Amino acid sequence: MTRALARRAAAALATAAALAAPAQAAAPPPDISAPSAIVFQPQTGDVLLRRHADAPRPVASATKLMTALVVLEQVGLDEVFAAVPYDPAPAESRINLRAGERMTVRDLLRALLLESANDAAATLAARTSGSEAAFVREMNARARALGLRNTSFANPIGLDEPGNHSSARDLVTLTNRLRRNAFFRRTVAMRSVRLGSGARERVVDNRNDLIGAAPHVNGVKTGHTQAAGYVLIGSATRDGVNVLSAVLGEPGEAARDADTVNLLRWGLSRYRRTAIVRPDRVVASSEVRYRPEDRIELVPARGLTRILRTGERPRIALAVPRQLEGPLPQGARAGTMTVRLRGRTIARIALVTAQPVPEVSIAERALDRLLEPVTLVIVVLFTMAGGLLATVLVRRRRAGREPVS
């Protein structure tokens, strides 16, 4: 093996040893005032913190997350709905739609998710399913399909009403499903947006004050009623790692926002997006058969990136042939890398040759066979046997020439 290959092999072994090192202790969770809360990491499925996370509670306008999901799954964004009559209470959030005013589903959803407009919610529900009652039935059916065991809806808005409740765990599960939709992700990350459809132009502002103010926060939905207290379903993404949170029943906006920021920041600190396997890195080498002084570098056929807990190390095992016989092209399969994480195998990746394996001449093959230990022993034995036979024959010939007395 050349010195360069030796250094690369040593580096590969050092990397494998580092990846197998034990995890470090994580920082404790922050103190929060929310009576019900959760922190969830979607890529791993880890629940980092839960406080009465399955307790059913009024959730105010977080209800509109299910309203948005049902609409997004059934209606095109470019469809146009005529606003239904809506008689709001004085303190309700709305965009003052006039009955019959025509607006795109896209703008109605923006008003629903940012301004938390109740008149937009009423129009979306009635026009999607024919009536508000039919839409609420679809909301509950979708909740059952998603496994939201502690969720029930009585209206598409989130007004305090018996039978309208959810839980912290159910709300982050619902949010995780919604975040698969690119329109939803873009919308809840906006500070404000101009609505171009409708009888007049409107600008709606995001009621989630953390958007644009807290680093990495990109959603999702606030809510407040007298029964629910202050509610915020939060999302933050940094370097490819996403964390979701929910705080329910907060005493005020300041506590709601502070708890959410602290939970999201803490959640992000516990994870990193890591390239576990890089396709351009040499991880092993094999000698060329009949040329033991030559070695062929082996690299993974593909890369592997995963979200890891801070201090977490996967375990990597290599199955590599001692020799390779050419001719083989560059990129020929020559071994396997097995990656295990949290007690299970997450990937088996082929190892391939980083250079072509040369063809060896007949003379080199013969010489190599000649130099093999077994071959050498056989040659020595044949040589000794030949010598002994020659000695015997010489003696016999000499004995035959001697005169008989």
- Catalytic, out of 36, 61, 167, 245: 61
93 labelled catalytic: no
Nearest to 191 by CA among 218, 211, 210: 211
The C-alpha atoms of residue 233 and residue 170 are separated, in whole angstroms, by 11
Q: Considering the candidates 36, 64, 93, 286, report the single residue annotated as catalytic.
A: 64
SS3 347: strand
Q: Is 116 marked active-site? A: yes
The amino acid at residue 339 is: V
Using CA atoms, how far apart are residues 328 and 357, in angstroms rounded to an integer? 5
* 346-384 burial code (b ≥16 CB/10 A, e <16): ebebebbbbeebeebeeeeeeeeeeeeeeeeeeeeeeee
Question: Which helix (DSSP H) or strand (DSSP E) does residue 185 occupy?
Answer: helix 182-188
Name residue 283's amino acid.
Answer: V
User: For residue 59, what is the DSSP state?
Assistant: -
Q: Indicate if 64 belongs to the active site.
A: yes
H/E run at residue 194: strand 192-195
Radius of gyration of the CA atoms of the chain, in A: 36
Question: CB atoms < 10 A from the CB of 327, how many?
Answer: 10
**Of the candidates 135, 125, 136, the residue with the CA atom closest to the CA atom of residue 81:** 125
Among 116, 235, 245, 285, the active-site one is 116
Q: CB-hemisphere CA count at 13 Å for 230?
A: 16
Q: Enumerate the active-site residues.
A: 61, 64, 116
